[in-house]
Amino acid sequence: MKTLLIGATGGIGSRLLPMLTAKGHDVVGLHRRKSQAEAIEKAGGQAVLGDLIEMSVAELAEAASGCDAIIFSAGAAGSGAERTTAIDGEGPIKAVAAARAVGVARLYLVSAFPEAGRGGEPKAGFEHYMTEKKRADVAVASSDLDWVILRPGKLLDTAGEGRIALGSALPYGAVARDSVARVLASLLQRPAICREIMELTDGEVAVEEAVSRIAR
């Protein structure tokens, strides 16, 4: 199958891309700097240059053309409110429109755990980020696509034991980016899992088993 990976060079995306190509998937990796093409191609992907903020829906649709799925794992990463609006909020909305334009049925969105940032002093930038994440979730969940919204806890760069908790409502916690990538790779293999919002943290269950339990 063929997948457009938006955020291919990110913490999750750069882990996910080689997992998918190792399983024999064709992956189109969107990147915004020319220098990033080499790493995408080295991981077995097809590099497509484009900045999500500047790209029109038609340009994004062209990148998605012929794909079976879009995975959206891009994010502004605290680079300012305007970029957060454009990438975390508008980005998935553009991805929905692009998918519909070229008949891509499946969309996987990496979103955020609703309890993120609770308990500390509220910060305007983070509140805005959460508002935009929710706006994107609403747009995706109200679309007619076969969507999955994955809400990981605090992302860690630790290796990850590959043991997770995955479900519709979980206590807040952290999760290795590696495990998030594994969950996305596993979900992609199971098209029957769709129209689901899932929370994800590190836990006790092996990734494949946790995803199988969702399927049941």
| x/- map, 19-38, ligand NAP, by CB under 6 A | -----------x-xx-----
Between CA 30 and CA 17 the distance in angstroms is 11
The H-assigned helical ranges of 24-84 are 37-42, 57-64, 81-84
Q: How far is the CB of 6 from ligand NAP (least distance, A)?
A: 7
Between CA 126 and CA 143 the distance in angstroms is 26
* Residue 129 annotated in active site: yes
Give the Cβ contact number of residue 40 at 10 Å: 25
Which entry of 98, 129, 147, 187 is annotated as an active-site residue?
A: 129
Q: How far is the CB of 73 from ligand NAP (least distance, A)?
A: 5
Helix axes 57-64, 90-102, angle to 10 degrees: 60
- Quick check: 127 binds ligand NAP (CB under 6 A)? no
- Quick check: 43 binds ligand NAP (CB under 6 A)? no
Which CB, 12 or 166, lies closer to ligand NAP? 12
- Quick check: 74 binds ligand NAP (CB under 6 A)? yes
Q: For CA atoms 3, 216, 169, 156, give the dihedral sign.
A: negative
Choose which of 43, 63, 70, 112 interacts with ligand NAP (CB under 6 A): 112
Q: How far is the CB of 114 from ligand NAP (least distance, A)?
A: 11
The string of DSSP letters for 113-173 reads -TTTTTTS---HHHHHHHHHHHHHHHHHHTSSSEEEEEEE-EEE-S---SEEEEESS----
Asked if 84 and 124 count as a contact pair (C-beta separation under 8 A), the reply is no
Choose which of 22, 77, 159, 215 interacts with ligand NAP (CB under 6 A): 77
Q: Which of these ranges, 19-27, 50-58, 141-149, 185-193, lies near ligand NAP under the rule CB under 6 A? A: 50-58
Q: How far is the CB of 66 from ligand NAP (least distance, A)?
A: 20
Task: Work out the end-to-end distance of the chain between its first and last CA atoms, rounded to an integer number of angstroms.
Answer: 23
Q: How far is the CB of 216 from ligand NAP (least distance, A)?
A: 26
Which residue is listed with tokens 């992956």?
27
- Quick check: 152 binds ligand NAP (CB under 6 A)? yes
Give me Rg for the CA atoms of the chain.
Answer: 16
Q: Which residues are catalytic?
A: 129
Give contact residues for ligand NAP (rule: CB under 6 A): 7-13, 30, 32-33, 51-53, 73-75, 77, 87-88, 110, 112, 152, 154-155, 177
